[in-house]
Amino acid sequence: MTALRKEMLRIALFALVVTVFLSSASSGVALNFVMMALYAALLAQAWNILGGYGGQFSFGHALFFGTGAYMQAIAQMQGGLNPWLALPLSAMASAGVGLFVGALSFRYGLKGSYFALVTLAFAEVFRIVALSVPFTGAGVGLMVPLREGFANMQFDSRRGYGFLILALVVLALSVTCWLQHSRFGAYLQAVRDNEDAARASGVNPFRIKLGAIALSGAFMGAGGAFYVQVFQYLDPGIAYGAHTSVEALVGAIVGGMGTLWGPVLGALALHTLADLTRNLFGQLPGINMVIYGTVLVLMIMFAPRGLSGAGKSLRALWKGRTP
Amino acid sequence: MLDLGILFPSLLNGLTTGAVYALIALGLTLIYGVLHIINFAHGAALMLALYGVYFLKEQLGLDPYLALPLVVPAMFVLGYGLQRVVINRASHGRDENILLVTLGLSIVMENLALLFFKSDTRTIDTAYTLTTIPINIGVAQAMISLPKLVAFGGALVASALLILIVGRTDLGRAIRAVAKEKHGAKLMGIDVDHVYAMSFGIGLACLGAAACFLLPAYYVNPQVGNGFVLVAFTIVVLGGMGSFTGALLGGLLIGMVESLGGLILGESLGQIGIFLIFIAVLLFRPQGLFGAKT
């Protein structure tokens, strides 16, 4: 258990450093940057649970993001629910959608590109449904009324939202850390590495993958709920559009799939890159996605194990050279 | 309620769209059959081809149909180059990597188009855009627009040509050999990387042809490929991955389903019909209607 304790200590240290930064930073730009990077880290970590540890590549994680986001908005606006109660509910709703999609696709043994396609198709179906039914506000979208105050989970600056997203990221990191050291996590990685061998050893791959997609969906849904709290507006394109699916996936892959800190690292690197280009070229439509796509292709070409993997090989190289 | 006067034109309309779908799906299924990967950049490549046709018409006044001998080879070269320079190098022998690289390529293409061409939806004007031709079969009659009729015929001819190339030429034989058993093919002296790139090139060349036939009756914007990409996937999955007959028949079928679905359920819900078919086929019959059971 010492390895687990060491990792938990690192997570606590990370939380402390970010807390100190959030409390002391005064520039709105810096606060916004940290908040958005943490938000991207949450999405990437959510994808990482299913994609990195479970080996199931979803191309439609917006499915869970959008479901959580709509749940958060609708529970407040139509159910009159407090946002603090709505958030866990949103995460649960997304986990439920995850169970549904997972049960359908894993029952029939879909994997690899087939699984990627089915998640993509489900996200698209949900987008079209959200465009056509009245309670999502259809194409007009939903506007969450402004009611500033801690009780309503609406803060007067990015600082408050920064703490909220930090709490979610720390929770995601802790769960991932548990995943690395628990029986369930070991089963999951066994299924990823060789499903037949895992089955032969008495693991039930269907159940394990189902657990992973529900967990992954829950964090993605929490990300969606957070989005609604910060931006207070939602439409089918934002909720179920491909952009979010891509952001989650690229963050995890750039940082390093199946690692604890990879998604945080990847999200931070991507956001730094996106901010730099914005400063260089100004706000151009699509430029962010061009960068994300290019980085994705380049990483897979030259560093398929992500930034943390590349770091490891560099360290090994260094150690090999010095006697 | 739904009499023949509405049903027949709708079916015919679906059939013409379906032929173009089939052509797009043929390219996708060829790439899948040989490389065993799903080309997620297929829709984005179609979008690029459509822009090519658009600019040839707007800048040089070249008729879309006359652009065929330019656009088709250009798309072939693009496909050959992409496979050789990017996809092959990035794969490291793992299918998941190829999947992610084609996804990355599609993101880059789509957003470069957004960056340079803006999100405006563009159309071209030709002398025959609004020409319609009456078609009568027995009591059923319909007016069908000329570009759609040309697209139908052109897509069928292009599909036949593709099937001939793969079925009857030395290159086709090499493609089929690599698709079946790439190590064996390599031992027989076939340059596997070259065949991969040729297949990718031909797959994208199909998109070039499809773009020339589509644009006179269609439009182009950076997101236009997305609409086609899931439809093409559906067709390929429905017809059986790698099956040419399946893609051809699947394309025609899906075209008609979409048209009828739109008629009965309205445009956006009609699209859902396609996705539901897609999900259902993937779940219950992933080998497709014509694919061999593996």
| Lowest-confidence region among A56-70, A217-231, B120-134 | B120-134
Q: Does B107 touch chain A (CB under 8 A)?
A: yes
> How many angstroms away from the CA of A270 is the closest CA of chain B?
14
pLDDT, average across residues A33-50: 96
Q: Could you tell me the CATH number of the domain that includes residue A106? A: 1.10.3470
User: What is d(CA A160, CA A207) in angstroms, rounded to the nearest whole number?
Assistant: 38
Residue B275 domain-assigned (yes or no): no
To probe the interface with A, which of B235, B283, B293 has the most A CB atoms within 10 Å? B283
Would the pLDDT of A93 be above 90?
yes
Q: Does A118 touch chain B (CB under 8 A)?
A: yes
Predicted confidence at residue B292, as pLDDT, reads 52
pLDDT, average across residues B64-81: 94
Would the pLDDT of A298 be above 60?
yes
Nearest CA in chain A to B265: A132
* Residue among B38, B90, B278 minimizing CB distance to A300: B90
Predicted confidence at residue A323, as pLDDT, reads 43
Q: Smallest Cα–Cα separation from A257: which of B96, B41, B107, B40?
A: B96
To probe the interface with B, which of A297, A298, A299 has the most B CB atoms within 10 Å? A297
Residue B80 domain-assigned (yes or no): yes
Tally of domains within chain B:
1
pLDDT tens column, B18-51: 999 999 999 999 998 888 878 889 999 999 999 9
To probe the interface with B, which of A47, A104, A115, A117 has the most B CB atoms within 10 Å? A117
* Residue among B37, B96, B115 minimizing CB distance to A285: B115
Tally of domains within chain A:
1
Range of the domain at A178: 2-321
Predicted confidence at residue B294, as pLDDT, reads 42
Strand, coil or helix: A91: helix
pLDDT, average across residues A107-130: 86
pLDDT tens column, A140-191: 889 888 888 888 888 888 889 999 999 999 999 999 999 999 999 999 999 9
Is B13 buried (19+), middle (13-18) or exposed (0-12) by CB count in 10 A? buried
pLDDT, average across residues B186-197: 90
> Which runs of consecutive H residues, i.e. helices, occur in chain A?
2-24, 28-51, 62-77, 83-107, 113-132, 158-181, 183-193, 195-200, 205-231, 236-240, 242-255, 262-281, 287-302, 306-321
Q: Does A294 touch chain B (CB under 8 A)?
A: yes
Q: Smallest Cα–Cα separation from B10: which of B2, B21, B20, B1?
A: B2
Contact yes or no for A208/A187 (Cβ under 8 A): yes
Range of the domain at B86: 4-223
- The confidence band for A252, taking pLDDT boundaries of 50, 70 and 90, is very high
pLDDT, average across residues A92-117: 90
Give me the percent of chain A exceeding a pLDDT of 70. 98
Would the pLDDT of A288 be above 80?
yes
**ipTM score assigned to the predicted complex:** 0.85
